[in-house]
Copies of this chain bind each other. A is one copy, B any other.
Amino acid sequence: MNKVFFILMVIGVPLSVIGGFFDWNFILMFFIYCMTIISLANYIRRSTECLAVVVGETAGGLLNATFGNAAEIIIAFFALREGLNTVVISSITGMVLVNLLFAGGLSMLIGGLRFKKQEFDVFKARHNTGLLMFGIVVTFVLPFIFVSRIDKTDIKILSTAFAIVMLIIYLLALFFKLVTHKSVFTGKKGEDGEEEEPEWGKWKAMIILGLATVVLAYVSEKLVGTIEPVGNTLGWSDVFIGIIVVAVVGSAAEYVSSISMAYKNRMDVMLEISIGSTVQTAMFVAPILVLVSWFFNFLPLVFNTSELVAMILAAFMTVTIVNDGDSNWFEGALLVGTYIAMGFGFYLL
């Protein structure tokens, strides 16, 4: 799989630069940029993981928790700068739905076709689903219920206050996981993971991380510039582009590794990626974007009802399915089926 990303990158990066320079057709460039970002996000992810192994578990967990969604944050940053707030909001919805229903469901489905029943550690899973409920409740539902009844300046204050509460809780969650209750979480991980050597050495990983981030930022900026003309030409709405571009492009690398973990029956890691990544979106990426948006157009975290209900349902389905400590192909199919039905609804909006 890593070879595919290597080829995508080797082709994508030069094409992005050359095409941007010679003003190639913007629809062609849009797809080249997407492909390139997918490959670069994979390199960022892998170099982060290598560094995480090198610096030890605590700092490594912190590193994963902050750099894991680097690609999404970078793309969203440029979209914010361009004033594409609807795109950013929809991309958050997209990340939640795709992570939980599509990536999570497909992983359970594919894993379940190979193994009759796949078990995972309920304690860790429940820690994550607890955070998931909390993240979605406070970051997404609370602003929704208050926002319609207060005036504009107060919305800014309220959104900012929620973002800060959320970041504090996110830090506390890391502290809980990496410091006070470390033993509970590392028990099994150690078993699975200790034998694995990091793919790259410390310095190589740092250089790759730095380079990939810089190039990703360059390509993201270009990509965001093509969103509006592409949307107008192909007749795609901002919501649709938000769900596709930032959500899928930014985290495609994670979906691949989530599925491959399920295929290897390492369900704890799979859930950590799929649910953990959604928690990061709600509790880290979204609040960071709110704070960053102070410098551009302020981004209040207010979703429309369809998006909000879809996210709540996705979280609720995941909690219900994860709660019994095992999964099978049918539970995966349920999630994917829900995703397809929702996707169809959003497409028609």
Contacts and interface: CB of A to CB of B under 8 A. Distances in A.
A166 to B, nearest CB: 8
Contacts of A149: 306, 349
A337 to B, nearest CB: 5
Nearest to A175: B330
Contacts of A340: 165
Contacts of A154: 348
Interface in A61-96: none
B169 A344 contact: no
Contacts of A346: 146
Interface string A149-182: 1100010011001100100110011001000110
Interface residues of A, number: 57
A280 B251 CA distance: 37
A204 to B, nearest CB: 36
Interface stretch (A130-138, A222-230, A269-277): A130-138
A324 interface: yes
Contact of A313 (B123, B141, B319): B141
A309 B141 contact: yes
B176 A341 contact: no
What 8 pairs across the A-B complex have the smallest Cβ distances?
A: A176-B330, A146-B345, A145-B309, A169-B337, A145-B306, A165-B341, A154-B348, A161-B344
5 contacts: A130-B320, A131-B334, A137-B317, A138-B341, A180-B330
